[in-house]
Structure 1
Amino acid sequence: MRTVGVYTAALSLAAASLTGLGTVTAAPAAALTPPVGITADDLPTWQTNGIVWAMAEADGVVFAGGTFSAVRPPGTSAGSSQQQQAVNFTALDAATGAPTDCELSFTVGSGNATVRALAVSPDKETLYAGGFFGAVNGVPVSSLAAIDIDTCTPRTDFKPSVNATVRALAATDGAVYLGGDFQTVGGQSRSRFAAVSTGGDVLPWRADADEPGRAVEVTPDGGTVMLGGDFFTVNDENSHALAAVDASTGAVEKSYPLGFFPQTSVVKDIFADASGVYSASEGSGGGVFDGRVAYDLGTLDQRWRDTCLGATQSVQTHQDVLYSGSHAHDCSSMGAFPNQERYHLLAQSVNDPELLGWFPDTNDGLGEMIGPRTMAVSSAGGRDFLWVGGEFTTVNGDGQQGLTRFADSPDTGAPPVPQTEASSTAPGSVTVRWQPSVDLDDSELTYRVYRNGSSTPVHTVSASSKPWSRPQLTFTDTDVAPGSTYTYRVSASDGTNTSSLSPPRSVTPALAPEAYAEQVRADGAELYWRYDEPSGTFAADASDTQSAGIHRGGPARAVTPGAVPGTGTAVGHDGVDSYTYSDKRRPRPDAYSIETWFKTDTTAGGMLAGFGDRILQNSSRHDKHLYMTDSGRLIFGVRSGWTRTITTPGSYNDGEWHHAVATQGSNGMRLYVDGQLRASNLLVVSSQDFDGYWRFGGDNLRGWPSRPSSDYLSGQLDESAVYPGVLSAAQIEQHHALGTAPSDTVTAVQPVADTYVNQQAASTNYGGSGKLAVRGSTAYEAYLRFPLPEAPAGQVLKSAALRVQLTSDSFAGSGDPARIVPVTGAWTETGATYTGRPELSSTVLGTLTGATTPQGTYSTLLDTAELASRLGQDLDIALTGDGTDSLWLSSREAPGTAGDPTLLLTFGAP
């Protein structure tokens, strides 16, 4: 159907700008990601109580026609006392969304009247309306009427009789083109398409089709009429769903034979401007085409097409973007989202079918439950407005029926708060990971990471994301001290609007490598979910590939204890519909390993891990499954020609943590549990070939042997990983051993004595001072005594670090390094002076560097072997240096204990 008035033949291509009729070219809002020029913020707009089928605009007024009887203000429900009568038609102010004083009533003697098409004359003086009706404001007509826009009255001199529903209109200076279900117009034979003069006389123009017409559009030069519909022939020439005909005669200029569109697909809408011609298709059954096609204006040949599934009802350009209304549910053939819940509003460049970052949404609504049906662009008050009409009853999640509108500015919506996680598995670094936010009109956002409450970010990065593709972002902070605690928060900004800061994530840098996590990374995991986030839907990926997970179905978060002692939390799945998926689409792996820890006492079984073709629904293609039977046995299965599975002899639904690894490659299929090989098939070396997504916790298990009562696991998962190769038996055994080893413990040891000496006050003792000082010339030297404990039974010292805090003095920081060396001579806290200072060893246990900020806390790792040899004894150390910049530290005598020098000792399994 025509959704907005078209250009006349006299209009030049320059006048026919990409903004569409009645719009002005305006700079995009600063917050929008180009080329998108319309925000996703829906504006307050009056509503209908039924379906809007058609829209057109003139001079800042938007006309809407359809099947409804009343309009009401935004925010009110159907039947509101504030509603006004509007019989299948309303006129609204484009800038305010409120009705104007133009009121028309489209009625019919029997049956249900409806307005299905609207078009405005090039001079903006006449509105043409088509549909199924017999009168306008009581003036008799026959499914086609002309309205004088200035007076808002039906023209009595325009009364062509149309014998069936008119579904499409387009107007030029001299003609009105119509399409629909009719066979006669003005008593003359016209099959599905016709043209009448602006006075209502039937023109000799003929473009007879064998099936209904649904769309009519005139090219900007006025010479060609594009026809769309269900037809297979036009003027007896083979042309299915689309045809280009001469505007004067109706002769076919370009046909589109069956095959250009599938037999089961039709064209529902056509739009043309200086950038090209665009069509919208709808289909049913297998092998349909439901998307958009762009055509070169000169040749009318296809320039691009998208292959999204989900019938497209309307298309409209604004600036360099094609906006469309559909119920797209599967754009995987374009590299976008797989089959899932519907998107009803999409945007694409006029030059490229790739989906842009514009995702306001409606619901399916009433009637055929299609959602949007029609679109129009109008300008008023220096702003451009994109209007959408249809059968929806919500917009962006809020109640709004039949009509909505969006503007080119301002963008007032702040991006969602990023979901964030912070962790440390190796000394000297903290890694902050976050899931990019999805802003409905800004795919490119800027993220800022803040540390310890500072207003200055420690990291800034810009990145692009879309709802189905949110590549994880990562910042590694290496300016950290072992044993200190750091807090991180992240914000997202579109350049104009900034989100709130994410909830704080606190982490203490590791004193020693976390053995299990570091081994998983070292063995090449390309997906590694540790499930340590306290809340939200984000599962951070600790591998190097940033394959973040997304929780669906509300699994329990921060479940304790986790599988690996002392390393974090687990995720709890409900056995009904909760799972975690990766939104990174991957080709079938030739070789792979799937690893996860699980804990369950279920008797309903469920999937631990698998590979499927969908992320928000059960997969229709699914393979590489690791699942549990009702009896608790584990099955690993692939489809290679037919279904092949291997099964453990024992059961594992005993409520204890277990480690499972499934591998496949050139050496066949293998299934390990708790570090040991439990089942294998050395002959099956391939799996089903399709692109898909890794899922943990549940997916479709239909057709798999010993299918459990539930496809979804009721239990806990932890430390889930996928590798792009086959882990060896030795690697798997090592993972299990590391994952079951006792957790490391950190012991904090305070000094029992500390003091410093001063070369310039050579005989003074500073044992009672609240400060310690270090400098090379003139010299300060600090001494500390720590009573080292013995290692716990069965454990060894794995790392040691000295943590100190600078005083609040403005001169406390130093750019010079301070060496930490053993004291070999005798000293006491109350007796040490510069002239009686003890002898020092030449062995350097560690070096403190970068301690420059007053009141800052700094740590340095010490020689583990040297300290291990002294366990159970006193450790006397000195801080000494060579430079001229003094370092001032808090001593054990300083008020409070937070700044006391501390020795942090990490003990763990050998």
Structure 2
Amino acid sequence: MTYRGKTLSTGLAAATLALAVAGPAQAKMTDGMPSFNGTVLTVAYVGNVAYLGGDFTAAIVRGKQVSRGRLAAIDARTGNLLSWAPMADGRVKSLVAAGGSIYLAGDFGTVGGQKRDSLARVDATSGAVSSTFKHTISGRPYAIAAAGNRLYVGGAITAVNGKARGRLASFNLTTGALDTRWTPTVDDQVETIAAGGGRVYVGGKFHKVNNIGGYDRLVALDPATAALVPGFKPRPPVITYALAVTADSVYSAHGGKGGRVSAYTVGGQLRWSATFDGNAQAVTVLGDTVYAGGHFDRACSTARTGSQGSCVDGADDRVKLAALAVSDGHLLEWRADANGVEGVLALASNPELGTVAMGGAFTVVDGRTQKRFAQFS
């Protein structure tokens, strides 16, 4: 299939080509947002608030540094830095909101001055650290998701509270207790988790799930029993870095020689795939648009890439950020280039506000100085 001279790699026959929606074409960077002095690795919206985690130790507000220990909250409407400021003593890699709390995972040993081994729960309003959610983790957690009164955690985890785990674990959101029933295993690192449609989707480097081969790099699990969903077997050929789930599709960001963003049906069939000249590391969906972030500089015209990931058959400049049509993956005209080597590492969308937030290692977005966090509306 071609569109404006671009060849799209598709699985199922794509739906009728959709026109680019007005939103992406008109979306502008929100003024007045704070910058940060270190990398922003994760962003989560809760109502009008954007919660951030990463490697930073300060927010930058109107040129002045304000202490923030790897966690911060921003009013997404006004751009005001909020007083919410629990301090982690090491990297916050992933965070998720559930039931009035923010759950965080990373490389830290304390949060708010209290010992917490790589996993913690803090109040979404006060920032107080929960006294009932406290665990010891062997290995590193990289990704978390919440659904159905459970918190799902993945990474390079080998044990929780001395109980063996195969890179995945689950916790009861009410009691905070380790789930003794949900004990899936994968044979290599988990990079991302997303929950939706009565499933838990897991992506990463693995090839075997629950000791069963053929479920490479992207899998769907039962949220209660951890059994494989056998019909979902997309088997992407390269590492899965990020996931976004809607009612009828699963969107994935991948690395490899170049990078790609793919759309799958909930049955596991490939709908479309868009290729870039560098890793796609983040993905989110807002309305009719899929946003992709990474350390790419160009969106390839076809799926063919060279030995170093360069586009072989032509490309359009899209530096670290791109917008794609939900319907068929064609590249939209909207662009807001960022700089840096690592580029964009996190994306989140807020349908209520009509905004998309991005975090990463950039210092310039759309030709303006904006360090490591930006929002479009």
TM-score, length-normalised on structure 1? 0.37
How far apart, in 2, do the equivalents of 1:138 and 1:254 lie? 44
1:536-566 deviation digits (Å, cap 9, x = unpaired): xxxxxxxxxxxxxxxxxxxxxxxxxxxxxxx
| Higher RCO (C-alpha under 8 Å, 6+ residues apart) | 2
**DSSP-derived class of the 1:150 partner:** coil
Cα contact 2:360–2:373 (8 A) shared by 1:
yes
**DSSP-derived class of the 1:64 partner:** strand
**DSSP-derived class of the 1:354 partner:** coil
- 1:389 equivalent among 355, 359, 366: 359
Alignment partner of 1:242 is 2:218: yes
1:649-699 deviation digits (Å, cap 9, x = unpaired): xxxxxxxxxxxxxxxxxxxxxxxxxxxxxxxxxxxxxxxxxxxxxxxxxxx
Question: Counterpart in 2 of 1:72?
Answer: 60
Deviation for aligned residue 1:376: 1.3
1:741-796 deviation digits (Å, cap 9, x = unpaired): xxxxxxxxxxxxxxxxxxxxxxxxxxxxxxxxxxxxxxxxxxxxxxxxxxxxxxxx
How far apart, in 2, do the equivalents of 1:401 and 1:145 lie? 27
Alignment partner of 1:376 is 2:348: yes
- 2:246 equivalent among 264, 270, 273: 273
- 1:327 equivalent among 295, 305, 316: 295
Q: 1:403 to 1:217 in 2, by over 3 A?
A: same
1:209-243 deviation digits (Å, cap 9, x = unpaired): 11110110112x3x211000111111112221111
Matches within 5 A, 1:457-476: none
Deviation for aligned residue 1:172: 1.5
Q: 1:232 to 1:68 in 2, by over 3 A?
A: same
Deviation for aligned residue 1:405: 0.6
1:291-331 deviation digits (Å, cap 9, x = unpaired): 1111213x232222223332111111111111111233350
How far apart, in 2, do the equivalents of 1:235 and 1:260 lie? 16
Cα contact 1:374–1:389 (8 A) shared by 2:
yes
TM-score, length-normalised on structure 2? 0.86
Deviation for aligned residue 1:384: 2.1
Question: Counterpart in 2 of 1:254?
Answer: 230
Unaligned runs of 5+ in 2: 1-18, 305-310
How far apart, in 2, do the equivalents of 1:39 and 1:92 lie? 23
How far apart, in 2, do the equivalents of 1:88 and 1:192 lie? 24
Unaligned runs of 5+ in 1: 1-31, 77-81, 108-112, 408-910
Cα contact 2:27–2:376 (8 A) shared by 1:
yes
Cα contact 1:167–1:215 (8 A) shared by 2:
yes
Deviation for aligned residue 1:163: 1.8
Question: Counterpart in 2 of 1:210?
Answer: 187
- 1:115 equivalent among 60, 74, 92: 92
Question: What is the percent sequence identity of the aligned residues?
Answer: 28
Deviation for aligned residue 1:187: 1.6
Letter in 2 for 1:63: Y
Question: Counterpart in 2 of 1:52?
Answer: 40
Deviation for aligned residue 1:334: 5.6
- 2:137 equivalent among 131, 151, 162: 162
Letter in 2 for 1:242: L
Question: Counterpart in 2 of 1:290?
Answer: 259
How far apart, in 2, do the equivalents of 1:341 and 1:303 lie? 24
Deviation for aligned residue 1:38: 6.6
Question: Counterpart in 2 of 1:309?
Answer: 277
Q: 1:251 to 1:279 in 2, by over 3 A?
A: same
Cα contact 1:182–1:190 (8 A) shared by 2:
yes
Letter in 1 for 2:28: D
Deviation for aligned residue 1:371: 0.3
- 1:63 equivalent among 39, 51, 57: 51
Letter in 2 for 1:131: G
Deviation for aligned residue 1:88: 0.8
Deviation for aligned residue 1:273: 1.7
Letter in 1 for 2:263: A
Letter in 2 for 1:45: M
**DSSP-derived class of the 2:302 partner:** helix
1:253-296 deviation digits (Å, cap 9, x = unpaired): 13777x9333xx2100111122421111012xxxx462111121
How far apart, in 2, do the equivalents of 1:216 and 1:33 lie? 29
How far apart, in 2, do the equivalents of 1:147 and 1:316 lie? 25
Extract structure 1 runs of 4+ deviating beyond 4 A.
Answer: 334-337, 339-342
Letter in 2 for 1:273: T
Alignment partner of 1:136 is 2:105: no
Matches within 5 A, 1:700-779: none
Letter in 2 for 1:345: L
**DSSP-derived class of the 1:145 partner:** strand
**DSSP-derived class of the 2:320 partner:** strand
- 1:400 equivalent among 324, 347, 370: 370
Question: Counterpart in 1 of 2:321?
Answer: 345
Return the index of the structure with the highest Cα Rg: 1
- 1:34 equivalent among 21, 24, 29: 21
**DSSP-derived class of the 2:235 partner:** coil
Cα contact 1:139–1:156 (8 A) shared by 2:
no
Letter in 2 for 1:249: T
**DSSP-derived class of the 1:254 partner:** coil
Cα contact 1:42–1:404 (8 A) shared by 2:
yes
Question: Counterpart in 2 of 1:104?
Answer: 86
Q: CA RMSD in A?
A: 2.2
Matches within 5 A, 1:523-602: none
Deviation for aligned residue 1:42: 1.5
Q: 1:289 to 1:189 in 2, by over 3 A?
A: farther
Q: 1:255 to 1:133 in 2, by over 3 A?
A: farther
Question: Counterpart in 1 of 2:156?
Answer: 181
1:556-577 deviation digits (Å, cap 9, x = unpaired): xxxxxxxxxxxxxxxxxxxxxx
Cα contact 1:334–1:354 (8 A) shared by 2:
no
Cα contact 1:343–1:361 (8 A) shared by 2:
yes
How far apart, in 2, do the equivalents of 1:292 and 1:175 lie? 28
**DSSP-derived class of the 1:274 partner:** coil
Question: Counterpart in 1 of 2:128?
Answer: 153
Q: 1:384 to 1:36 in 2, by over 3 A?
A: closer
Cα contact 1:162–1:184 (8 A) shared by 2:
yes
Letter in 2 for 1:34: V
How far apart, in 2, do the equivalents of 1:402 and 1:178 lie? 25
Deviation for aligned residue 1:202: 1.4
How far apart, in 1, do the equivalents of 2:124 and 2:41 lie? 20
Q: 1:39 to 1:275 in 2, by over 3 A?
A: farther
Question: Counterpart in 1 of 2:16?
Answer: none
Cα contact 2:192–2:243 (8 A) shared by 1:
yes
